[in-house]
Structures are given as C-alpha cells and as structure tokens.
Amino acid sequence: MPHGDTGWSPFRVPLVPVPRGPGACSLGPIIVHEDLDRVLFSESEIRAGIDRVAAQVTALYRGSDFTVVSVLKGSCIFCADLIRRIPIPLQLAFVAASSYGHGTTSGRLEVNYLPTGGEIEGRRLLLVDDILDSGQTMHRLKQELLERGARDVHTCVFLDKPARRAIEFEADFCVLHVPDLFVVGYGLDYAGMYRNLPIVGVLKPEIYARGAKAAAPEGTTPSP
C-alpha cells in the first residue's frame, strides 16, 4: 500500500456531486476521496472567491513593486492559482513555518526558512497562507518580515476560521470563511495527506480517530 496503513489514494470514489457552471472545470466529473465526509467548497466556489481576492490585491498593488510570500507547504496550491489571476508585475518568495501540534490542533510554531534579506528589505510584501486559525503563524511571520526591513506587509489567507482565534489578528484579504472544523484539500493537509484534493472538505470522523490512535510523532499531524 503506497501510504502505510491509511489506504490513501487520490480521486477514487465519486461521492459528492459538486455544482458547476459552464467551463468551471476541465477535468471531467468531480471525483472526491472516499475518506471525505462532505465537501464544504467546490472548485467553482473556490475559483469565484479567488477571482474576487485577486482583484482586490491587484487594486492595492497596481503601480508599485511587490513580492508575494507563500507560506509552505499549505498555501502552495492557493498561491499558484492566486498569482495567475493578478495581472500586474510581482515577484514570488517562500517562507516555511511548521506548527507542531497533535491531531487537529496547532501548537508551537517553528520558522525554518525565510526569504533572503534582499527579497525582504524595502519591499512591499503580501504574505499568503492556507488558513488563519489561532492566528499565531501569520502574526509571527508578519513580525519577522517587518523586523527584517519589509516596507509593508499585507496578509492574505485562503480560509479564515475566526472561532479558533487565540490572538487578535485579522487578514487583509480572505477568500472563504470556515466554521470550527478541521478541513482538508486545496493545499490543506491532515497528517501530510489530502493536499491535492481540488475541493475543501471534512474527513470522516473515523479518519481523525485513526490518526489520533496512531500516536504520530510530534509535527506530523498536521504538518505545515
């Protein structure tokens, strides 16, 4: 089995019919993984939200140089789609942050890779992450970038889960709001998996229970 005892394999079972308009998707029928309990956001909803945020970002930065800083790994899918809808010049950089927690809660944050000084100093930065949960990751990364000389730092998240906020922090741009649920897909993982699902969904309760029982080592559930 390719992934230990999880039996994971993408795109196996067509479970949930996802509404779609003309040209919404070129990949054929929507197929979602059998581990999903339900779909929260379809591809067309995600696309519409990203188009809206891309227009807002474009309006903010039109006429000025800026760099999009993607927080690895979770924001890679969102960021790739977002920047292709921003029709003005930009640069791209990456930062890696790991939230070492257990199961579906985030814990201690470790920043293990930052852009070089030249990529930060005097630059306008748009920090992009997959989800704003407790708020610790975005708060800490924004501070780090400002301390290293960024001219200004705006923040953009794919999802916002306001019910879980542990500190006062709001993103400047947000695509979609989610209730207090642990979600996967479109870059978001559980135990490192499900990032490649094209939709956002909630796993079946038994999948989370299985993960907890496996007593994963620190940092593996969820991963950055």
State the minimum distance, in angstroms, from the CB of residue 208 to ligand IMP.
Answer: 11
- Nearest distance in Å: CB 123, ligand IMP: 22
Query: For residues 92-131, which are near ligand IMP according to CB under 6 A?
Result: 99, 106, 129-131
Residues 71 and 127 sit within 8 Å (Cβ to Cβ): yes
Pairing of strands 108-113, 91-100: antiparallel
Of the residues 133, 152, 180, 189, only one is catalytic, namely 133
Alpha helices in 14-151 (DSSP H): 43-61, 76-83, 117-120, 136-147
- The Cα 192–Cα 219 span in angstroms is 10
Strands of the sheet with 36-41, listed across from one edge: 36-41, 200-203, 183-184
What residues line the site for Mg ion (CB under 5 A)?
74, 130, 224
Partner touching 183 among Mg ion, ligand IMP, none, CB below 5 to 8 Å by kind: ligand IMP
Give the range of 9-17, 56-64, 80-88, 176-184 binding ligand IMP by CB under 6 A: 176-184
Question: Considering only residues 132, 171, 175, 193, which one is a binding residue for ligand IMP as defined by CB under 6 A?
Answer: 132
If one asks whether residue 35 binds ligand IMP (CB under 6 A), the answer comes out as no
Q: Which is nearer to Mg ion, 130 or 160 (CB)?
A: 130
Residue among 50, 153, 183, 197 that touches ligand IMP (CB under 6 A): 183
> How far, in Å, CA of 117 to CA of 85, rounded?
27
Does 180 qualify as catalytic in the annotation?
Answer: no
Annotated catalytic sites, by residue?
A: 133
Which residues of the shown chain bind ligand IMP in the complex (CB under 6 A)?
74, 99, 106, 129-137, 182-184, 188, 222, 224
